[in-house]
Amino acid sequence: MKHGGNRMAYLVEGVVNYLKPDSEVRRIGEFETAEEAIATAQKIVDEFLSRSFKPGMDAKSLVKLYKAQAEYPFVFRDDDLTVNVPGFEHSHYARNRAMAVCSGKK
């Protein structure tokens, strides 16, 4: 899936029930830059955390809920040489954002 000659696309896919027999994958989008793809993946995590947060919830509880129920976004290039592009790892991002959400710094 090359764009304009040798340009690569960056893909975002979401996985539900990651590492389980009933896991499901969906294509979320295709982007020209890694930055666009990462921003989309971050938005998916942010929306889950905002939707799932309840007043009084701590970051540890919110992350636990994310790990149990969220769709995990992965960003990779269309040349099949990456599993997840450098610069974004969903669980690390979710942990950092959960702390911000729970402290009121949405």
Secondary structure class of 44 (helix, strand, coil): helix
Q: Which pLDDT score is estimated for 84?
A: 75
Percent of the chain surpassing pLDDT 90: 67
User: What are the domain boundaries of the chain?
Assistant: 10-102
Q: Which tens digit of pLDDT belongs to each residue from 72-92? A: 999 998 876 666 788 899 999
pLDDT on residue 87: 85
User: What are 18-42's pLDDT values in tens digits?
Assistant: 777 887 889 999 999 999 999 999 9
Q: What is the pLDDT of residue 103?
A: 92
Question: Residue 51 pLDDT > 70, yes or no?
Answer: yes
φ/ψ (deg, to 5) at 25: -120, 140
pLDDT at residue 2, as a whole number: 43
The span from the CA of 10 to the CA of 103, in Å, is 33
Q: Please answer whether residues 75 and 38 qualify as being in contact, where contact means their C-beta atoms are separated by less than 8 angstroms.
A: yes
Higher pLDDT, 1 or 84: 84
Per-residue pLDDT, averaged over 48-52, amounts to 97
